[in-house]
Structure 1
Amino acid sequence: MLKGIPEVLSPQLLKILDEMGHGDEILLADANYPVESAGMKNGSYVVRADGIGMVEILEAILKLFPLDTFSDYNIALMTPEKGEPEIWKEYEKIFISSSEEVKFKKFSRFEFYDLAAKSYAIVATGERALYANIIMKKGVIK
Structure 2
Amino acid sequence: MQVDPGDPVEVNIWEAYIRTAVTHAEQDVSLVELERAAFYERCRNAYAVVATGESALYANLIIRKGVVAAG
The TM tier, using the shorter chain, reads 0.7 to 0.9
Q: What TM-score comes out, normalization by structure 2 length?
A: 0.78
Alignment of 1:127 onto 2:54: yes
Partners of 1:138 and 1:84 lie apart in 2 by 28
Partners of 1:113 and 1:103 lie apart in 2 by 19
1:7-61 Cα deviation digits (max 9, x unpaired): xxxxxxxxxxxxxxxxxxxxxxxxxxxxxxxxxxxxxxxxxxxxxxxxxxxxxxx
Range with bigger deviation, 122-131 or 94-103: 94-103
User: Superposed, which structure 2 residues align to 1:1-142 within 5 Å?
Assistant: 78-81=1-4, 82=7, 85-98=11-24, 99-142=26-69
In structure 2, give the amino acid aligned to 1:93: R
Q: What TM-score comes out, normalization by structure 1 length?
A: 0.42
Moved over 4 A (4+): none
Counting matched residue pairs gives 65
Q: Which runs of 5+ in 2 are unaligned?
A: none
Partners of 2:60 and 2:46 lie apart in 1 by 13
- Structure 1 residue 100 displacement after superposition: 3.0
Structure (1/2) with the larger strand percentage = 1
Partners of 2:67 and 2:10 lie apart in 1 by 30
SS in 2 for 1:90: helix
- Identity of paired residues, percent? 38
In structure 1, give the amino acid aligned to 2:37: F
Partners of 1:100 and 1:136 lie apart in 2 by 14
The CA RMSD over aligned residues, in Å, is 1.6
